[in-house]
Amino acid sequence: MDTILGLFGMALWIAGTIGIAAGITWVVVKLFPGDEDLERRIRAYIRWNAAVMVIKANKHAEGIGGHLSTFASSAALYDVGFNWFFRGKEDGLAGDALYIQGHAAPGTYARAYLEGRITEEQLDGFRQETDGTGLSSYPHPRLMPDFWEYPTVSMGLGPLNSIYHARFLRYLHNRKIDDTSGSRVWCFVGDGEVDEPETLGALSLPVREQLDNLVWVVNCNLQRLDGPVRGNGKIIQELEAIFRGAGWNVIKVIWGGKWDELLMKDRDGVLLNKMNTTVDGEFQRYAVESGAYIREHFFGPDPRLRKMVEHLSDDELRTLPRGGHDYRKLYSAYKAATEQTGAPTVILAKTIKGWTLGPDVEGRNATHQIKKMTVDQLRVLRERLYLQEVIPEDALADGKEPPYIRFQEGSIEHGYLMDRRKALDGSLPSRVVRTKRAIAMPEDKPFAEVLAGSGKQEVSTTMAFTRLLRNLCRDPKLGHRVVPIIPDEARTFGMDALFKEFKIYAAQGQVYEPVDAQLLLSYTEAKDGQILEEGITEAGSMASFIAAATSYAHRGVPMLPFFTFYSMFGFQRVGDFIWSANDSRARGFLLGATAGRTTLLGEGLQHQDGHSLILASAHPTVEAWDPAFAYEMATIIRHGIREMLVDERDVIHYLTLYNENYVMPPMPEGVESGIIQGLYRWAEAPDGPRHRATILFSGTAQGAARAGQAELADRWDVGADLWSATSYKRLREEALAAERWNRLHPTEPPRTPLVTQLLGAGEGGPVVAVTDFMKAVPDQVARWVRQPFVPLGTDGFGRSDTREKLRQFFEIDMPHVVVGTLWALAQQGEVKAETVAEAIAHYDIDPERTDPRQFDL
Ligand SMILES: Cc1ncc(C[n+]2csc(CCOP(=O)(O)OP(=O)(O)O)c2C)c(N)n1
Ligand SMILES: [Mg+2]
């Protein structure tokens, strides 16, 4: 080490080393091309404004929150990127993707303010959004669609998304859909955030795929919300081992330049040893203590160390900076990251949480939550940032609002700030939807085969979907842009049929001959493969989905992703990712295959899904569908494609797919709008019977409903209409809108919700709704049905058995449809209670059997 430092001593003085720890030294010498003093001054303004906007927000609206100390620790990490590395979107370029730590958002707004992209009024509206002019708390493209691109604040999602985003850029490039060579993905990660399994869960993928277009910057301020990240250990060492083990290029920026002088004197390695054996909890303590304390406790115990710093004053000791606050070292690290080839880079930057915010905030355990500052604390901040002449004393007087500060247009600082961004193709973050190569609607042909029904053949909606997906991939207009995504379940869904024809994407191609090479449907990988076969990671698949589903915006190249998964492992397993896909303004299809609590027989409690439609109902921009027939599924998908490509709606369509085979009828005339509105009459009640009833079905419950209709007519003198309920969520949302309108327009003639209109005022008799999902799914519309409403559904845990036994158990089979209908008629006085009892006995139903919802069975 001596030699290295000796040799490069002079150069180090110019540019600085990158990092020293664990006995390994990296020396990268780069001349800093900018004006460091000017940049520090610009950064001081950004720091000040970022703090003031949080303080003011909390003055104006008590409890509104916000974060001061995260950005304070990472200001230089962002600034070096904004001044020198992050590429913008001018001249039609796609630029770099920035995943910014969510709660560092004030810093991003503060820079945008200096650049003239955000007004003072907007800064004052931080976290006060409902009037439509405020700034969102965190990066939310749904709320600020011209500004933010990538939601990050749910810890762990941003890091995982960034990996798959970088990979998706390669996918687009290798498939010759878009030249993505000019774009890099930068992801800022908190050191506490690494504890989320999603953060580190996919580290090997960018190494396997050689994603040198990916750079992570981990802000190692040693603290999370409650306290130290690794008080008794060393987070940087831990992360270095993990990233290096995975094969990343690791750059550590630990000590600021002033330490270099000391390290050069460290001939025996005592200082290095002291650094390596001091745990993070102690370092945090040194961050808040006096120089005398540091001299005593860090350098003091070893006379050689004490001697090393005897020429430094206590104040100089106290202000020996961390690497993450050393601008030149950061510049060198970023530069090295951008020059790296063949592997992703992580920069581990050591910082102090709350840096420059003064002794009451810096490094304190409570720092994350601090959002107010007293006048005295503001004075300290002003001095730390050398802003005394900019902010006069009277501006800080008690009761006064601390001012925002800005450079005059024409000033050197303003010119420098703007020139830097101009040189890098414009300001960021910035979300623009600028379609470079649109795609047209597919032809009718892909749909025709599925809409025509299956003839005599019994097929499932999953099989029909796979057929449709294949047809869409073959479509001359849009086939190339279809992105089938599957997490190691292709064979379950019959999608292995697509492997050979469309090939599995593999960055290196296929370097082996597959074991099934001689088969027609062999496992075929290719560099330009279309299918993303992700392996067993629903989270990773969802991240791919988001990258593809937002490609229309971040690349200007619309893609059409279809992510098919075990329906149980979608909303339940990766619900937060789907939520962030809503926020990201994703456009794509989610397919919950092997759906239903009783249709997926044999798999039992963990697999049988009876509630994904309920979970989906909470997602604002997810349309949730439960089609019974292949033609419904195809109609919904065609409608969804039109919404995404023609209407440019940022919408996700979730469809259940089942694996039960039955004859798929051809699409009847005139039902298209009924399918899309969520409910349509599928079959009229037979003529003849005395009583009337209405049966709603969705998904595979069509079987019990149809059998029930026949049985009711044959044996119980009831003629029932059959309706297919393709989307209760849609019906409910329409009804809520009508109800709200009525509530707020009390003197106008009221609007009638669609579901009420369709089911009428009672002439169709009571309504029985049968589903392979929980009763809460049809219950979504119960309030707007005027006649008695009886939901039959599959509440409770799934269990292994045959379909017949399961449907009997969950009380959704034909006999229960009949009994439910008769009981509803009895409520209306149409039939006698004894008739219901007779039916119960006839079908051998045990009324005393325990309710399947109870788990003490
Ligand atoms: C999934 C999730 N869990 C919890 C939180 C709440 N939260 C916000 S910031 C934070 C601490 C972050 O610490 P770190 O990642 O070290 O970031 P720093 O502010 O120190 O840079 C927590 C727990 C969250 N946003 N997301
Ligand atoms: Mg932290």
- In sequence order, what E strands does 408-463 have? 458-459
Q: Which atom of ligand 1 is nearest to the CA of 157?
A: 1
Q: Which atom of ligand 1 is nearest to the CA of 196?
A: 1
Residue 365 CA to ligand 2 center (angstroms) comes to 11
Q: Which atom of ligand 1 is nearest to the CA of 70?
A: 19
Residue 353, ligand 1, Cβ within 6 A: yes
Closest CA to ligand 1's atom 7: 225
Closest CA to ligand 1's atom 19: 70
Strand, coil or helix: 718? strand
760-813 confidence digits (pLDDT tens): 978 899 999 999 999 999 999 999 999 999 999 999 999 999 999 999 999 999
Q: Which ligand is nearest to the CA of 575?
A: 1
Q: Average pLDDT for residues 463-479, to the nearest whole number?
A: 97
Q: Which atom of ligand 1 is nearest to the CA of 154?
A: 26
The CA distance from 762 to 753, in Å, is: 15
Residue 152, ligand 1, Cβ within 6 A: no
Percentage of the chain with pLDDT > 70? 96
Residue 106, ligand 1, Cβ within 6 A: no
439-458 confidence digits (pLDDT tens): 999 999 999 999 999 999 99
CA nearest neighbour of 236 among 216, 221, 257: 221
Q: Average pLDDT for residues 735-744, to the nearest whole number?
A: 98
537-548 confidence digits (pLDDT tens): 999 999 999 999
- In sequence order, what E strands does 239-282 have? 249-253
| Phi, psi values for residue 445, rounded to 5° | -55, -45
For residue 114, what is the enclosing H or E element? Answer: helix 105-114
Count of all residues that appear for the chain in the document: 857
CA nearest neighbour of 492 among 453, 472, 465: 465
Residue 153, ligand 1, Cβ within 6 A: yes
pTM assigned to the model = 0.95
- Omega into 429 within 30° of 0, i.e. cis? yes
pLDDT band at 855 (very low <50, low <70, confident <90, very high): low
Average pLDDT, the chain: 94
pLDDT at residue 849, rounded to an integer: 86
Residue 111 CA to ligand 2 center (angstroms) comes to 22
576-610 confidence digits (pLDDT tens): 999 999 999 999 999 999 999 999 999 999 999 99
| Phi, psi values for residue 16, rounded to 5° | 95, 150
pLDDT band at 16 (very low <50, low <70, confident <90, very high): very low
The CA distance from 535 to 533, in Å, is: 6
| Phi, psi values for residue 762, rounded to 5° | 130, -10
Q: Which residues contact 412 (CB under 8 A, 6 or more apart)?
A: 38
Residue 290 CA to ligand 2 center (angstroms) comes to 22
